[in-house]
Structure 1
Amino acid sequence: MQTLHAVTLVIPDYDEAIAFYCGTLGWQLAEDIDQGRKRWVRILPPGASQGSLILARADSAAQQAIIGNQFGGRVGLFLCTDDFTRDHAAMLAAGVRFEEAPRHEPYGCVAVWRDPFGNRWDLLQLT
C-alpha cells in the first residue's frame, strides 16, 4: 500500500502562510520544526488525518518567481469537503476570494478560489 503523504507549496513567509491556512481557514498545524535556515511546516485541513501540505518558504529568486504560479496558472490543489455549502459560506465570510460562483459538474460541486499568494484551488464536494 502507498499513500501520498504531502505536497509542497512554496510560499513567501512561513508565519503569513500559517496565519492564513491555520487561522483564517482553521487548518491544523501538524508540525513546525526549526531546522536552522528553514522550517519543516506541515498543515492539514480540518478533520484530515493524512494528505498534508508542506509550507516551504522560497529561498531563491527562482523559487520566489513561482509563488502563486506553481501549477502554470491551472488549479493545482483540491480541497474536498463533505458540506460544500457550509464551507463555501465560511470561506466567503473569512474573506477568501472565489473566482466563480459554485457550479455543478458530473464529478461534484466545485468553485475555484485563490489563497493570498495567488495559488488556485478547487473547493470540491464529490458526488
Structure 2
Amino acid sequence: MKQLISALTLVVPDYDAGISFYVEKLGFDLIEDTTLSATKRWVLVAPKGSSETRLLLAQAEGDTQQASIGHQAGGRVFLFLSTDDFDRDHEAMLAKGVTFLEEPRTEAYGKVAVFQDPFGNKWDLIQHF
C-alpha cells in the first residue's frame, strides 16, 4: 500500500492574497482555482517541481478561523520548503520582498533560514545536506 499527504490546509484571510504571495512571491504553481459557491473556492498551490504535497488555501470563515491565521502551529515554524539550491532561492525571495526573520545558518541537517508569509506563518527555507 502507498499513501501520501496530498494537501495541507492553510487558512488565509483572502484567496487572492494567498495566491498573490504563494504564486507571485514564492513562485509556486497555481494547481487549481475552482469556484465552489459564492464564498468558497478550492485553491491548490505547490512549489515548482513538487508532485505530491500541495497547500489548500482556505479563506477564513468566522472569528475562530480568522483568529487562527498565522497561528496554526502555535508560533512555531509551521511549514518547510526544501530546495536544491538555498542561495539561489534565498536571493530570489529577498528580491521579491519575502520577509526573513533571521540570517541563513548552517545546522547539522542543512542550511536554513526562517521566513514569514504576510499572514504570520513561519516557514523554514532549507537545503538538506
1:61 Cα shift? 0.3
Task: Write out per-residue CA displacement over residues 4-26 of structure 1, whole angstroms, 9 at most, x where no aligned residue.
Answer: 10111000000011011111221
Unaligned runs of 5+ in 2: none
For residues 30 and 49 of structure 1, the distance between their equivalents in structure 2, rounded to whole angstroms, comes to 11
1:50 Cα shift? 1.5
Aligned residues: 127
For residues 78 and 121 of structure 2, the distance between their equivalents in structure 1, rounded to whole angstroms, comes to 8
Unaligned runs of 5+ in 1: none
Matching residue of 1:106: 108
Q: What's the TM-score once normalised by structure 1's chain length? A: 0.98
Which of 49, 52, 55 is 1:53 aligned to? Answer: 55
Task: Write out per-residue CA displacement over residues 30-62 of structure 1, whole angstroms, 9 at most, x where no aligned residue.
Answer: 011110031110001012111100000001100
RMSD, matched Cα: 0.7
Q: What's the TM-score once normalised by structure 2's chain length? A: 0.96
Matching residue of 1:12: 13
Aligned structure 1 segments of 4 or more residues deviating by more than 4 angstroms: none
For residues 24 and 106 of structure 2, the distance between their equivalents in structure 1, rounded to whole angstroms, comes to 29
SS at match of 2:118: coil
